[in-house]
Amino acid sequence: MRRPPRGFTLIELMIVVVIAAIVGVVAMPAYQQQMRKSRRAEAREAMMQLQAAQERWRSTNVTYAGAVGTLGVSATTSGGNYAISLSGATATGYTATATAQAKQSGDTGCTSMTVTVAGNTTTYGPSNACWGL
């Protein structure tokens, strides 16, 4: 009586490897893009905290703060994927910028995100897609 063969043949194993490679090639770019989008939330959170700190500062001073350190806010986001900076601070407005760094620097669509406050108007840049709007 002949025993049935056990295990996998080399052809079967190679088919499985090829299928796994195709799935990996298709899935990896989509995964990386989703990770970039999720790290943008880190920048949005930091910018909102900065805006709140600026408004607290302005309530007791005649101008907005010109430096992030003055506000007691970190100059980088919690995950270290964005550097936060301030510019153009006046009595009526300022511009805050989150610049991608580290793993996030590959996010070509949103390498920098800005909030510009001018009087009663707040503008988010460079696009609404970066802000999830």
According to the model, what pLDDT value does residue 56 have? 93
According to the model, what pLDDT value does residue 1 have? 64
Cβ-based neighbour number of residue 48 at 10 Å: 11
Place of tokens 């407005």: 93
According to the model, what pLDDT value does residue 105 have? 83
Q: What is the span of the domain harbouring residue 71?
A: 10-131
Q: How many domains does the chain have?
A: 1
The pTM score is 0.76
Mean pLDDT over 60-84 rounds to 90
Cβ-based neighbour number of residue 39 at 10 Å: 19
According to the model, what pLDDT value does residue 133 have? 65
| Domain assignment of residue 21, yes or no | yes
CB 18 within 8 A of CB 63: no
Cα 128 → chain centroid? 14
| Domain assignment of residue 92, yes or no | yes
Between residues 37 and 57, the one the model is more confident about: 57
Residue 123 has pLDDT above 80, yes or no: yes
- Percent of the chain, pLDDT > 70? 97
